[in-house]
Structure 1
Amino acid sequence: MYTHQKNIITQGKTVSETRKALVMIHGRGATAESILSLAEYLPVEEFSLYAPQATNHSWYPYSFMAPAAQNQPALDSALEMIDGVVQSILDQGVKSQNIYLLGFSQGACLTSEYATRNAQKYGGLLLFTGGLVGQELEKANYKGDFAGTPVLITTGDPDPHVPVSRVEETQAIMEELGAVVTKKIYKGRPHTILQEEIELAKEILERV
């Protein structure tokens, strides 16, 4: 088992110039650079971009639906890395409502878990094929108030990694904590990001 070495790639203007940040979390087997390439399709010219890199290219070793203990200590280490990025942005005077979090696949699962454990008013959560982590969800882990944070959460039906049922459970918990969730289930969609998902993400990123 492993813990993560801190490795954050940034892109775009500094956060002192933009006062807005998008934290982008890559999927299993991928890289920070690969998730940053998604920014070419998003209206993020006025955002500072942050992309942490997972050690071993994986945030935790097993499925996100495995018993949580099996994914430790990697999972806690990954959550700490995301928290470090978010706290560093907050420490530079950026308000939480100007911080956006995006993830794909394993990265969307990690983003879901981090944000719901630390619910506050974010600019938006863009969860491309993901959901909360664990064989059973421990509701006691999830606290705070999303205060109307817009959330996009998607998966395919079926998806090889992220079942529809977990997306629905994730939506319910986020809504209990005050998020405004847009859930999209795509019949027969491969494990990828569709143009429609990009368009829905743009709507959240372009809200003032």
Structure 2
Amino acid sequence: MYTHEQTIITHGKPLEQTGKALVMIHGRGATAESILSLSEHLDAADFSLFAPQATNLSWYPYSFMAPVSQNQPALDSALELIHTTVKQVQDQGIDSSNIYLLGFSQGACLASEYATRDAQRFGGLLLFTGGLIGQQIDTNNYKGSFNGTPVLITTGDPDPHVPVSRVDETVKIMEEKGAEVTKKIYKGRPHTILQEELDLAKKILAKRS
């Protein structure tokens, strides 16, 4: 088992120019640089971009629906690195309402889990094929209120990694915590990000808090 090095890649204009941040969390086997390249398809030129890098290209070793204990200590270390990334933005005077979290697959699961454990008003959550983590969801882990945060959450039907049932469970908990959720399930879609998903994400990024 492993813990994650504190590696955060930044891209684009500095925060003092943009006033808002997009934290991008890569999937298993990918890199911070690869998820940053997605920004070219998101009209994100007015955002400061932050992408933490998983050690060994994986945030945790097993499925996100494995017992949480099997994914430790890597999972807690990954959540801590996301927290460090967000705090790095907040320490520069940026309110959470101007911080957006984006993830794909394992990164979307991590973004879901991180945001819901300490729910607050984010600019938006863009969760491409992901959901809350654990064999069973432990609602005792989740505190706070999203206070109207717009959330996009997607998966394929079927998806080899993220079942529709877990997305549905995730939506229920996020909505109970005050998120405004857009859920999209794509029949027969491979494990990827469709143009329609990017277009929906762009709408959230275009909204100004």
Q: TM-score range by the shorter chain?
A: over 0.9
Please report the RMSD computed on the Cα atoms of aligned residues, expressed in angstroms.
0.4
- Listed one character per residue, the Cα deviations across residues 95-153 of structure 1 (whole Å, up to 9, x for unaligned) are 11000000000000000000000100000000000000000111010011100000000
Tell me, in whole angstroms, the C-alpha distance in 1 between the residues paired with 2:126 and 2:17: 23
2:204 aligned residue: 204
* Residue 162 (structure 2) pairs with residue 162 (structure 1): yes
Q: Residue 143 in 1 paired to residue 122 in 2?
A: no
Q: Secondary structure at the match of 1:125?
A: strand
Partner of 1:16: 16
Provide the rounded CA distance (Å) in 2 between the counterparts of 1:36 and 1:98: 18
Measured in 1, the distance between the counterparts of 2:102 and 2:120 equals 15
SS at match of 1:36: helix
In structure 2, the residue matched to 1:62 is: 62
Q: Deviations over 1:12-52 (max 9, x none)?
A: 01112111000000000000010001000011111000000
Find the counterpart in structure 1 of residue 91 from structure 2: 91
Corresponding position of 2:185: 185
Aligned-partner SS, 1:151: strand
Q: Distance in 2 between matches of 1:88 and 1:161?
A: 31
Shift of 1:189: 0.1
- 2:199 alignment partner AA: E
**Corresponding residue pairs, total:** 208
1:115 corresponding residue in structure 2: 115
Counterpart-to-counterpart distance in 1, 2:176 and 2:56: 35
State how far apart, in whole Å, the 2-side matches of 1:9 and 1:95 are: 20
**How far apart, in 2, do the equivalents of 1:205 and 1:13 lie?**
16
Scaled by the length of structure 1, the TM-score of the pair is 0.99
SS in 2 for 1:86: helix
* 2:195 counterpart residue number: 195
Match of 2:35 in 1: 35
- Alpha-carbon shift at residue 7 of structure 1 (Å): 0.6
Q: Distance in 2 between matches of 1:136 and 1:101?
A: 24
Amino acid at match of 1:57: L
Aligned partner of residue 45 in structure 2, secondary structure: coil
Unpaired runs of at least 5, structure 1: none
Q: TM-score scaled by structure 2?
A: 0.99
State, as a whole percentage, how many aligned pairs show the same letter.
75
Letter aligned with residue 7 of structure 1 = T
